Structure 1
Amino acid sequence: MGGPADASAMLLPLLPMRDGVAPSYMWVQELAPGPALAYLLARFADVTESTWRDRMARREVIDGSGVVLGPDSLLRRGLRIWYYRELDDETPIPFEEQILYRDAHLLVVDKPHFLPTTPGGRFLHESLLVRLKHKLGEEQLIPIHRLDRETAGVVLFSLRAENRGAYQSLFQQRSVEKVYEALAPAMPDRAFPFIHRSRMVDGTPFFRMEEAPGEPNSETLIDVIEPRAEGMLYRLQPRTGRKHQLRVHMAALGAPILNDAFYPVALPIKEDDFINPLKLLARAIAFDDPVSGERRRFESVRTL
């Protein structure tokens, strides 16, 4: 239906970035869509009529030709509509990101716990991407990969559309070395290091993953760093990049990561517990830079 504009795509936004928020877009696909206001109310049930009227009065709803749309503007099939996504009463995330490295092509950031990498759901301005766009004024900024909202650590961003694909291909080709740290219960019957492989599939509820019989599609190298009062500090090196892979693997081994609200079972949804974050940190990332040819290694300054 649409999403934040990507300057590398052919769909160039016709509204400027605003406070770090790139305009979103949607396509009109119905044969007889009718007037703009009625159409938008039908498509976005959670957005009120007064909100759309206010956006239109501010000239912030336009078509693909740059024509400002009003409540009675007649739409046609195939039309593209640009608008800004807005949220009321967004909960502040009281932790700050830290820039570890920047050049003309690459931005490396140390993400705090609880901050999502990109906007979604109840998070917009309180996302790493929007925060960085607002602070740096870089409209072309795009994450090369992502971390779960609950996970802290190193995240890479592309600053230039022309070589973004080269960096993204590193992850697709598994040419990136990723090291995580996790606090979890001890596994006294295990000989370290060892490799855990499993088949991961979509679970229940929809936001969870689970292991299932069949050919493995996920792999993690697990080692011990040191004992802690809360349990054991582990070094985790994923060889694949499945959603929630490290959290699923540790839970399956009987050592769920401390403060994990999803695994081994999903707890009732509640407000974020800022005092007790998930004890999982993307410690370091290393790769051969496809632009400069240099060996790169970036490490988080955070601790668990």
Structure 2
Amino acid sequence: MQSPKCVQNAQTQHGDASSVDVENIFLHRFMLSMSTSTSAILGSNDTATDPADNTDPPVMLSEEKPVVAHLPEKRKAKTSDDESNVKKVKLDANGLKTKRPGFNDERYEETSYYFENGLRKVYPYFFTFTTFAKGRWVDEKILDVFVREFRAAPPEEYERSLEAGKLTVNYEKVPKDYRIKHNDLLANVVHRHEVPVTSQPIKVVFMDKDIVVVNKPASIPVHPCGRYRHNTVVFILAKEHNLKNLRTIHRLDRLTSGLLLFGRTAEKARALELQIRTRQVQKEYVCRVEGRFPDGIVECNEKIDVVSYKIGVCKVSPKGKDCKTTFQKIGEVGDESIVLCKPLTGRMHQIRVHLQFLGYPISNDPLYNHEVFGPLKGRGGDIGGITQEQLITNLITIHNAENWLGLEGEQVAPTEIKGELKTTSVVEVPIEATKPMISATNEPINEASTQTCYEEPDRSFDFKKATSDPHCSECKVNYRDPGAKDLIMFLHAWKYRGVDWEYKTELPDWACKSTINYDHL
């Protein structure tokens, strides 16, 4: 049996939950009925799932807008089982209309932060991912489903989880040959390790009763996604500034810094979302690009198409959506240029893709300034004469070798790139070295301290607050800390101007090193 703490942590990918949060389960079933995506559910770490990076996210609950709707009838699986043998989980939609966004205090108190080597880190903690059985899984063995659908862990790990009661059905232990039934609730307890982010503080630019405007440091995702949960803007603001139940109005890529707006009321959030959607908001970004950018205003109207939602990559294509960005050089740093960017549309990675097309990619862009797009790095739309399918294959290969698509710290097999063998920087350590905290029943104990908005993060690692699991593969590996090049991209959301409002931040250090021509600003 799993520990009571593990059971309390049960929830879907987003939102609050108690032991089994019926509101979230109700919503989650609705979302699952609308999608066939299975990526990154139950702790899968083999896809890039950072919405801040504009990749295809896993199926999860919306924290912003509660759903009050007549649910479509769930697709019936073809099975010979009688209805009387089908397990059904009782659902309750009471309170759905008053459901607020965000998380409850129990979610914020799952674990705490500590600072080390200029990074904000999270003590590993136990967490439970849940999902309802999909129609195509019905009457299949649970172990076969997990091995096929969720490849983040080897088959023997799922088998061990079933035997230990960490992988359950309707919160009951089942054998590995158990056959899934319609409406079964699958839960998987994992020992979760989050990726470090910068220790730079999130500065509040403006705040009143309706809105919070912050200056987001690079490397911090906006909200929980993939391998990030507590190391996100919404969790940090809640735990260190007591700013909870914020409504996301827009997003920034994880590596992009700058202005980020949150609504404190539903009315304000809807009003600002409408202004952005109807293009009433003027956005100004500052970036640093390779080469001497041309003088004057440069306009790019190339259409942008998504190459792959799974890995979150776009390129210029006549099949894409209409897109427009204007650029103007405002300074220089050596052989590089500081450029003011004004996107008139809001496509995924718009500024980065247009700069790549123009031949002046952001100088440290880990994706669009890369030879995976061909010898010209995608300049003028030239990707080296390969097909889009081959481009996707190459992108995945480079991702596995260089680890820059949002899954820092993932263990991967060595990959051959241009004759040179590359792999991630990991070091295997014996399981005994992790000193797991185990109960008398040989189960891990979650003794990690909690953190509320009234507590400061630890200034160094405290071994007493650490947890470990003897069967956790990540506990057996020492990952290198990300360096500066892994945390910063030279793109900053500088100014936003809407109807009767305007906010701006200070320029980042990498832009201040140049002589800015303020006559253009």
TM-score for the superposition, normalised by structure 2? 0.47
Give the aligned partner of residue 108 of structure 2.
19
- CA drift of 1:163 comes to 4.0
Task: Tell me the CA shift for residue 133 of structure 1.
Answer: 2.6
1:298 aligns with 2:508: no
CA distance in structure 1 between the partners assigned to 2:212 and 2:188 by the alignment: 27
User: Greater helix share, 1 or 2?
Assistant: 2
Counterpart in the other structure of 2:282 = 177
Q: Could you say which structure has the greater relative contact order, defined with CA pairs below 8 angstroms and 6 or more residues apart?
A: 2
What is the distance in 1 between the residues matched to 2:298 and 2:260? 26
- 1:287 aligned to 498, 502, 518, which one? 498
Is structure 2 residue 145 aligned with structure 1 residue 145?
no
CA contact (8 A) 1:193 1:221 kept: yes
Q: Which residue in 2 is equivalent to 1:9?
A: 66
Cα distance in 2 between the residues matched to 1:164 and 1:62? 38
Residue 156 in structure 1 maps to residue 261 in structure 2? yes
The size of the alignment, in residue pairs, is 288
**1:298 is matched by which residue type in structure 2?**
Y
Deviations 1:63-118 (A, max 9, x none): 8xxxxx3436x997457789998622533433322111112221111111111112
Structure 1 residue 157 displacement after superposition: 1.1
Going from structure 1 to structure 2, the CA distance change for 1:83 and 1:136 (only over 3 Å counts) comes to: farther
For structure 1, the residue ranges without an aligned partner over 5 or more in a row are 64-68, 289-294
Aligned to 2:343: 238
The structure with the larger Rg is 2
Q: How does 1:1-304 map to 2 (within 5 A)?
A: 2-4=59-61, 6=63, 8-10=65-67, 12=99, 16=104, 17-19=106-108, 26-30=131-135, 46=152, 69-71=171-173, 77=182, 87-88=192-193, 90-187=195-292, 190-203=294-307, 206-213=311-318, 217-265=322-370, 268=398, 269-270=402-403, 272-275=482-485, 277-288=488-499, 295-303=500-508, 304=510
Amino acid at match of 1:296: W
* Distance change (3 Å), C-alpha of 1:278 and 1:55: farther
Post-superposition Cα deviations, 1:245-300, rounded to whole Å, max 9, x if no partner, equal 11111111111111111114366424644157211111111112xxxxxx221112
Are the structure 2 counterparts of residues 263 and 44 from structure 1 closer, same or farther at C-alpha, using a change threshold of 3 Å?
closer
Superposition deviation, residue 122 in structure 1: 2.1
Distance in structure 2 (CA, Å) of the matches to 1:231 and 1:54 = 56
Q: Counterpart of 2:198 in 1: which secondary structure?
A: coil
Q: Tell me by how many angstroms 1:159 deviates.
A: 1.9
- Could you say if the C-alpha distance between residues 56 and 275 of structure 1 is closer, same or farther in structure 2, counting changes exceeding 3 Å? closer
Secondary structure of residue in 1 paired with 2:484: coil
> Any idea what the Cα deviations from partners look like across 1:101-142, whole Å, max 9, x if unmatched?
112221111111111112222222212122223234444213
User: 1:70 and 1:53, CA in 2 relative to 1: closer, same or farther beyond 3 A?
Assistant: farther
CA contact (8 A) 2:194 2:228 kept: no
- Between Structure 1 and Structure 2, which shows a larger proportion of strand residues? 1
Q: Which amino acid aligns with 2:108?
A: D
Rounded Cα–Cα distance in structure 2 between residues aligned with 1:134 and 1:106: 18
AA in 1 matched with 2:322: N
Percentage of matched positions with identical amino acids:
19
Q: Supply the distance in 1 between the matched residues of 2:498 and 2:186 (Cα, whole angstroms).
A: 39
> Could you tell me whether the CA contact under 8 Å between 1:31 and 1:76 is conserved in 2?
no
Q: Which one is further off, 255-264 or 124-133?
A: 124-133
Q: Distance in 2 between matches of 1:148 and 1:196?
A: 21
Distance 1:8 1:239 in 2: 27
SS at match of 2:66: coil
Task: Return the letter of the residue paired with 1:128.
Answer: V
Deviates more, 1:161-170 or 1:42-51: 42-51
State the superposition RMSD in angstroms: 3.9
| Structure 2 CA distance for aligned equivalents of residues 88 and 100 of structure 1 | 31
Q: Is the 8 A contact 2:213 2:260 kept in 1?
A: yes
Q: Is the 8 A contact 2:326 2:341 kept in 1?
A: yes
1:22-56 Cα offsets, whole Å, 9 max, x none, are 9976444439868xx97995775547667799997
Following the alignment from structure 1 to structure 2, what is the Cα–Cα distance between the partners of residues 142 and 77?
34
Aligned partner of 2:477 in structure 1 is none
The alpha carbon displacement at 1:213 in A equals 2.7
Q: Tell me, what secondary structure is at the counterpart of 2:238?
A: helix
The letter of the residue matching 1:279 is: F
For the residue of structure 1 that corresponds to 2:301, the secondary structure is: strand
Q: Distance in 2 between matches of 1:31 and 1:260?
A: 40
Q: Report the equivalent of 1:292.
A: none
Distance 1:160 1:52, change over 3 A: farther
**What is the DSSP-based 3-state SS (H/G/I as helix, E as strand, rest coil) of the residue aligned with 1:181?**
strand
| Alpha carbons 1:116, 1:127 under 8 Å: kept | yes
5+ unaligned residues in a row in structure 2: which ranges?
A: 1-37, 39-58, 68-95, 111-126, 373-397, 409-481, 511-521
Secondary structure in 1 matching 2:196: coil
